[in-house]
Structure 1
Amino acid sequence: MTKKGTLLGRGLYFDDLAVGSWFHTAGRTITAADLSAFVNLTWLTEELFTNDADRDDMAIRERVVPAALVYSFAEGLLTPFMQGTGLAFLHADLDVKGPTLVGDTIHIECEVSELRAASKGHRGLVRCTSRVLTQRGDTVLIYTPLRLMRRRPQ
């Protein structure tokens, strides 16, 4: 016989949130291997990301990573927030504020800005303002996803 207890590793439900709720994620350092794998996977072969020999001719001399990688890692860092409770990613506005470099450690500060019950009663719409920051405290990306999330079972 298996004992039933609290299931760990589940995300927040729609009902657990309030406008103004705020949380932050753990950090994640972006490595040269991450950049290489992402560029090869996505075919983002812009020399800004792939050419180390001619850095003196580029506007940014450090190794820059694509904003798409930063966004992807941000979503990964937010996964625990919606593990098992997130149903759909519906929309987002995204604004790149500055470069992210190989060796930067990012984390996300997230604030709930909108909550609406969905037409089906067991779901709700959640919009957050997600700020991606580096270890220096620089905001490098802001996006505002609208997600469909489960409501807490009755």
Structure 2
Amino acid sequence: MANPRTDTTNLPRLGQGFYWQDLEVGQRFRTFRRTVTETDLVNFIGVTGMLEAIFIDAYYEEGAIPGRPVPAVLTYSLIEGLLLQSMIQGTGLASLEVHKKVLKSVMVGDTVFAEVEITGLRPTSKGNRAIVTSQVDIYNERDEQVITYTVTRMLAGRPGAQ
């Protein structure tokens, strides 16, 4: 007999992402908000090697964007992190394709969030998986759209389902 204090197989898992069967075309979500900090910028450019003057010199005056802009890929990554923690944790099998358009600069101190709409859902022929396409629109705290992208992912199905 299993010890009831260690047998957690019947407890719901906090943070568990959606199985593809939980989604439908037209379904919409909104992420939490996330403020982009100077530390985020410094860590990101250090890890990626994106040591471009507009990102490393707070007083750089020759760039087209005044202030402390952050790489668009940092903004995208922060939103993908929010989605992973809430929508696809434990169910996301692969990111297959991304089409992204940057509309406006994001600056250190801006707060971003995303609205997500499921635009496609196609179960695969085997393996209890599906190809899920989503439209993701990222906004800043002024409700200005800063990035839009379409992402196609493979998601797992509910265990035991066919």
Aligning the two structures, in what range does the TM-score lie when normalised by the shorter sequence? Answer: over 0.9
TM-score in terms of structure 2 length: 0.90
Aligned to 2:65, the other structure's residue is in SS state: coil
1:71 aligns with 2:95: no
CA displacement at 1:136 relative to structure 2: 0.6
Q: Give the 4+ runs in structure 1 shifted more than 4 A.
A: none
Whole-Å Cα distance in 2 between the matches of residues 86 and 130 of structure 1? Answer: 16
Q: Which residue of 2 aligns with 1:42?
A: 48
1:58 aligns with 2:76: no
Task: Please give the alpha-carbon distance, in whole angstroms, between the structure 1 residues aligned to 2:64 and 2:14.
Answer: 46
Name stretches of at least 5 consecutive residues in structure 1 with no aligned partner. Answer: none
AA aligned opposite 1:36 = V
Tell me, in whole angstroms, the C-alpha distance in 1 between the residues paired with 2:44 and 2:83. Answer: 19
1:137 paired residue among 137, 140, 143? 143
Aligned to 1:127: 133
Distance in 2 between residues matched to 1:101 and 1:145, nearest whole Å:
24
* RMSD, aligned CA: 1.2
Identity %: 39
For 1:63-102, what aligned pairs fall within 5 Å after superposition? Answer: 63-79=68-84, 80-102=86-108
Q: Letter of the 1:127 partner, please give it.
A: T
Which of residues 5, 9, 26 in structure 1 aligns to 2:15?
9
Q: Is the 8 A contact 2:20 2:158 kept in 1?
A: yes
Structure 2 Cα separation of the partners of residues 109 and 39 of structure 1:
26
Tell me the matched-pair count. Answer: 153
After superposition, give the CA deviation of every residue in 1:131-151 in whole Å (9 maximum; x if it has no partner).
111111011111111000011
CA–CA distance in 2 between the matches of 1:5 and 1:69? 35
Equivalent of 1:147, from 149, 153, 159? 153
C-alpha displacement of 1:119: 2.2
Unaligned runs of 5+ in 2: none
Q: Work out the CA distance in 1 between the residues paired with 2:137 and 2:60.
A: 32
